[in-house]
Copies of this chain bind each other. A is one copy, B any other.
Amino acid sequence: MNIAEAIELLKEHGYKTTGKRKDILTFFEEADGYRTAKDLIQYLEESYDGISFDTVYRNLHLYNEVGILETTELNGEKHFRMNCTHHHHHHFICKDCGKTKEIEVCPMNEVKKTLHNYAIEDHKFEIYGLCPKCQLA
């Protein structure tokens, strides 16, 4: 998902294009990994003095709903990243910088065989640790 696609998606859903919304997209495009609401607020405050929590959280939820962002919970805090739409995969997540590496392995087909009569709605497979760069730092 890139910025142009995201703006198009918002328009399709009838949402307005505002400066802040564009800046939020820019932030996540540059981030290339998971970021928190706090990270985003810090970024936006450079351009907008006194940005409202309401604006930040409302847009994060909106973006998540329409599929621009995906989210995961780490240490009691929600983290967001640009959605990878192309195909199903999972992530290695660096605990230090938040950057992710795609993992192609998904064991769900195998798992489904062992879960007769269970209604599977969702699954989460994440690997945590330090990326090569952050090990050196």
Which residue of the partner chain, among B107, B122, B127, B128, contacts A128 with CB atoms under 8 Å?
A: B122
CB distance from A96 to the nearest CB of B (A): 10
Q: Which residues of B contact A32 (CB under 8 A)?
A: none
The number of times this chain is found in the oligomer is 2
Q: Which residues of B contact A120 (CB under 8 A)?
A: 92, 127-129
Interface size class of chain A, counting residues whose CB lies under 8 Å from the partner chain: 20 to 34
A-B contact pairs, 24 of them (CB 8 A): A73-B76, A92-B118, A95-B121, A101-B118, A103-B111, A103-B115, A105-B107, A106-B107, A107-B125, A117-B135, A118-B130, A118-B131, A118-B132, A119-B129, A119-B135, A120-B127, A121-B128, A121-B129, A121-B130, A122-B129, A123-B125, A123-B126, A123-B128, A124-B128
A49 at the interface (CB under 8 A from B): no
A114 at the interface (CB under 8 A from B): yes
CB-nearest residue of chain B relative to A116? B132
- Asked if residues A119 and B115 are in contact (CB atoms below 8 Å), the reply is no
- Asked if residues B124 and A126 are in contact (CB atoms below 8 Å), the reply is yes
- With A101-B115, A122-B128 known, 20 other A-B pairs at CB within 8 A are A73-B73, A73-B76, A92-B115, A92-B118, A103-B111, A103-B115, A104-B114, A105-B107, A111-B127, A117-B132, A118-B130, A118-B131, A119-B135, A120-B127, A121-B129, A122-B129, A123-B126, A124-B125, A124-B126, A125-B125
